[in-house]
Structure 1
Amino acid sequence: MKNMKLIWNYMKGNRGKYLAAVLCIGIATLFSLIGPLIIRITIDSVIGSNGLKESTAVMTIIDSLGGIENLKRNLWIPAMALIIFTLLRGIFLFLKGRWSAEAAETVAKKMRDNLYDHLQHLPYKYHVRAEPGDLIQRCTSDVETVRRFLAAQFVEIGSALFMLIFSASIMFSLDVKMTLVSLSLIPFIFGFSIVFFRKVKKAFKLTDEAEGRMSTTLQENLTGLRVVRAFGRQGYEVDKFEEKNRENRELTYKLIRLFAWYWSISDLICMFQMGMVLMAGIYWTALGHISLGTMVVFITYIGMLLWPVRQLGRVITDMGKAMVSIERIQEIMNEEKEEMEATGNKPVIKGNICFRNVEFQYDKGKPVLKNITFEVKAGETIAILGATGAGKTTLVHLLARLFDYEKGSIKIDGQELRTIDKKWIRKNVGLILQEPFLFAKTIKENIGLGKDFPEDREVYDVAKVASIHEVINDFNQGYETLVGERGVSLSGGQKQRVAIARTLIANTPIIVFDDSLSAVDTETDASIRSALKKRKNNATTFIISHRISTLSEADKIIVLEQGEIVQMGKHDDLMKQTGLYRRIWDIQNSNEEDSGLSSGAKYAN
């Protein structure tokens, strides 16, 4: 009932169309039941000699047509009546299909829009752990499952109920004993459908989850195809996909077996019910308890009734699948959106930053940052060095409020970071990630994403600062070159530089390079940093890197170990200390000297 309530909520604004569709199916059902009654009167009283024992309304209609004698002379009149009621039934079935389909499409669109909007506003930490393949399936396959149920099966429940109520009422008015025989096995079909629904709902959930895992595996493989080829891991990836595919197949087989049992057993019950009606009808007709026309009505009605009742199993099955899908959709919708409260505090950001005793943890009892304290003046460059997992990325993510610190204080230009509007602070902090994401657009469009309606000159200027302008001009289509999905047509260094240009065009007062110079050579690295210093608005810059040559020119260098600041100062100061910074410097210099000696020996030979 909870899931049906969710569907009902999504139907808001379209409930009128659904109710109209249900009403149309009721009218269509009524017209379909009138046909056998016309045949009964024709057989018993028009062709046969049985006297009419119909209601006053029916007798009035027959009299208006000239009475029984006129109908005997003009048998085309009952035939024409059958055609007219069949046409009317078709018209109302068309209206039912149209209105239910229109409403279902509107509901599906609303669900997709809500899902997409909700995903855009979920916190950063949710997307870190979420599987893209599974999210895609929930937004596409699961929504489509709900749409199909609403378009085709939802109103069929009304069809089955109308058929049962109307036909049972008419049959009881004709003959009680025959009606009891005709409906004797209907409760067993209903009961069997309910048992089947309970089993199939669980099976559908398992199948849906298995399909989600398979989709995730496929999405990961296609995204990292170049890595797979580079490491010759095609065989491993094929085996991994085959395992997920096999799991999905086995669970699907289980569903197919359940369907086979349902349809075969329901067929047996329905055929047995038809046989009982036929035998009882022939027997009582022979004895004269019922007329031939009445027997025809019962056989026709039971044939018409058993189909929607039998289809009820399919309706219940699709409903079970829809319930599973709506649950999976609702799991996303139940995730709390990131609190983007508009505080109204939108100060002019200059770039003065002060960390005081800041602490942060992702999981309780496992601190990632401990007692972080330092100050940065506007326009300064701060370098951060540390081993993997030391908390470097977490520290700069706190600046953009992708996560909120738990203890201590972070002030920007004297104002507590928590009090500054989230959207405003993110507009003023340019974050360049180590693994840049480029959209399947042109290079010009990717760079221009950082600003609304950028001019061409602005795009070219930031590309020059990012040392990518000349490279782009060497491409056949220049800035109109399509980079492909995730920038697949560019090298790692080229992607990083395009991402840097995209951030620079936003002209933010605070810029963070999260190891985003790692894929460029030392000369290009130095060129980018030099161009940044020459810009008119010298931004406060954070650089995370493991390359000492990149860090050495910074105004302040912070060395992190296990979430704590263990060293801090300028390059010359840290070189005088024994610690991580000096050790890495010695290692990198040693490697460069070895490389130089090897190169010299090579040319000497």
Structure 2
Amino acid sequence: MFRSGKKAGAEVKKEAGLFSVLVPYGGFVTLLVIMSLGGSSINLLIPKIIARAIDAFSANSFNAGTIITEFLAAATGVFVFTFLQGVLQTSTAERVAKDLRNKLADKISDQSYSFILNSNPAKLLTNLTSDMDSVKMFVSQAFVNIISSLFVIIGAAVLMIMINWKLAVAVMLIVPVISAAFYVVFRKVRVIFRKSREVIDALNRIINESILGSALIRVLNSRQPECRKFLEKNIESRDLGLSIVKLFSVLIPVIMFTSNIAVVTILALGGHFVVTGSLTLGN
């Protein structure tokens, strides 16, 4: 996270990726993945239960007791896996953040005073606070959601192909559109996030300077200039936040519209296959 102040031409180690943070916690990560895949697997089975119930009702062989039992078993399984996953996510995220803070604090304490000044204390404060919160968010939400989403997408695609490959191909044509929308938006959001981090560093620096130099500010009567400096960075931070919100406000309608197209495709094409007898009503 920090680079030592070495002379130009010195070899700088390549920064490790965010996933490397999870390497020392392989056991916890494995359990998280198992819990996530377990809950996702049960969620994929629920549509099959509904399809079987509809087909059984259409064939006058509906057994309410069996369907209710299957639903209760599935709901219980989802609850257990989700509960354990939530507890494990929070525990792992806090453990990772605690260890990272300790390592970072030890690393900073080993550096010279000149290195601290050159590295900008405001940036160090950002590393110890907001950056750690970002790591916690990645561990507790992003990592598991990525794994479970990939599993659900692949599992749903396999199930659709097993049911009717023609309908599956028509629906999966929507996936590249959603992927392209995510790629475009997140590529722009990444740049804004970097600018936002720089603004947070500047805000921390201004706050730090205002606190340490509060007596001098009063003596020189420079309260207004300091307030303007803080206000400018605060407004810049607000504008960057609004820019991120605007990008996501465009992304969400695109996803919803594309998803609705997929639903219409399933209803229209699936209805055609049901009428022609190549697909059951439940499927």
Asked if these proteins are the same fold (TM beyond 0.5), I'd say yes
SS at match of 1:290: coil
- 2:209 matched residue in structure 1: 220
What residue in structure 1 maps to residue 226 of structure 2? 237
SS in 1 for 2:197: helix
Aligned to 2:50: 39
Unaligned runs of 5+ in 2: 1-13
Please state if 1:15 is matched with 2:15: no
User: Which residue pairs with 1:154 in the alignment?
Assistant: 143
Taking CA–CA contacts closer than 8 Å with sequence separation of 6 or more, which of the two structures ends up with the larger relative contact order?
A: 2
- Quote the Cα distance in structure 1 between the aligned partners of 2:115 and 2:50: 65
Residue number in structure 2 paired with 1:199? 188
Calculate the TM-score normalised by the size of structure 1: 0.43
CA distance, structure 1, for counterparts of residue 124 and residue 24 of structure 2: 27
For 1:114, the aligned partner's letter is K
1:368-406 alpha-carbon deviations (Å, 9 max, x no partner): xxxxxxxxxxxxxxxxxxxxxxxxxxxxxxxxxxxxxxx
Shift of residue 81, structure 1, vs aligned partner:
0.9
Q: Which residue of 1 aligns with 2:6?
A: none
3-state SS of paired residue (1:107):
helix
Aligned to 2:39: 28
Q: Distance in 2 between matches of 1:85 and 1:243?
A: 54
Aligned 1:413-424 pairs, distance under 5 A = none
Cα deviations by residue, 1:275-299 (Å, 9 ceiling, x for unpaired)? 22222222332333322111xxxxx
Q: Structure 1: state its 5+ residue gaps.
A: 51-67, 295-605
User: Residues 233 and 84 of structure 1: is their aligned pair in 2 closer, same or farther, counting only changes over 3 Å?
Assistant: same
Residue type matched to 1:195 in 2? Answer: V
In structure 2, the residue matched to 1:49 is 59
Secondary structure of the residue aligned to 1:291 is coil
One-letter amino acid of the counterpart of residue 269, structure 2: A
With the length of structure 2 as denominator, give the TM-score of the two structures.
0.89
Q: Work out the CA distance in 2 between the residues paired with 1:47 and 1:255.
A: 48
Please list, as runs of the form range in 1=range in 2, the aligned pairs for 1:251-262 lying within 5 A after superposition.
251-262=240-251
Quote the offset at 1:34 in angstroms. 1.4
Q: Which amino acid aligns with 2:203?
A: M
What is the SS of the residue equivalent to 1:289? coil
Distance 1:47 1:257 in 2: 47
Deviation at 1:217, TM superposition (A): 0.5
- CA RMSD after TM alignment: 1.9
Partner residue, 1:276? 265
Aligned twin of 2:4: none
Structure-1 residue corresponding to 2:116: 127
CA distance in 1, matches of 2:205, 2:253: 36
Contact 1:132-1:216 at 8 Å conserved across structures: yes
The amino acid across from 1:40 in the alignment is: A
d(CA) in 2 for partners of 1:264, 1:220: 43
Instruction: Among all aligned residue pairs of Structure 1 and Structure 2, give the percentage whose two residues are the same amino acid.
Output: 26
| Aligned-partner Cα distance in 2 for 1:171–1:15 | 33
Task: Show the counterpart of 1:142.
Answer: 131
One-letter amino acid of the counterpart of residue 29, structure 1 = S
The code of the aligned residue for 1:95 comes to L
Give the SS at the match of 2:96: helix
Q: Deviations over 1:323-363 (max 9, x none)?
A: xxxxxxxxxxxxxxxxxxxxxxxxxxxxxxxxxxxxxxxxx
Q: Distance in 2 between matches of 1:190 and 1:98?
A: 31
Q: In structure 2, how many angstroms separate the alpha carbons of the residues matched to 1:252 and 1:17?
A: 33
Give the residue type in structure 1 aligned to 2:220: F
Residues 286-326 of structure 1 deviation map (CA, whole Å, 9 limit, x = unaligned): 333322111xxxxxxxxxxxxxxxxxxxxxxxxxxxxxxxx
Q: CA deviation at 1:249?
A: 2.1
- Cα distance per residue 1:54-79 (max 9 Å; x no partner): xxxxxxxxxxxxxx6xxx4x412211
Greater fraction strand: 1
In the TM superposition, what is the alpha-carbon distance from 1:38 to its structure 2 partner?
1.5
CA deviation map 1:402-441 (0-9, x unaligned):
xxxxxxxxxxxxxxxxxxxxxxxxxxxxxxxxxxxxxxxx
Paired amino acid for 2:33: V
For residues 466-490 of structure 1, give each alpha carbon's deviation from its aligned partner in whole angstroms, at most 9, with x where no partner exists: xxxxxxxxxxxxxxxxxxxxxxxxx
Contact 1:101 1:152 in 2 (8 A): no
Superposition pairs for residues 568-579 of structure 1, below 5 Å?
A: none
What's the offset of the Cα at 1:134? 2.2
CA–CA distance in structure 2, aligned partners of residues 49 and 171 of structure 1 = 22
**Residues 255-404 of structure 1: matches in 2 within 5 Å?**
255-294=244-283
1:94-109 → structure 2 map (5 Å cutoff): 94-109=83-98
**Residues 27 and 92 of structure 1 are in contact (CA less than 8 Å); yes or no, is this contact kept in structure 2?**
yes
Counterpart of 2:107, as a letter, is: H
How many residue pairs match? The answer is: 270
Partner of 2:167: 178
The DSSP-based 3-state class of the residue aligned with 2:106 is helix
**Which has more helix, going by share of residues?**
2
**8 Å CA contact retained: 1:182, 1:276:** yes
| Cα distance in 2, alignment partners of residues 174 and 97 from structure 1 | 33
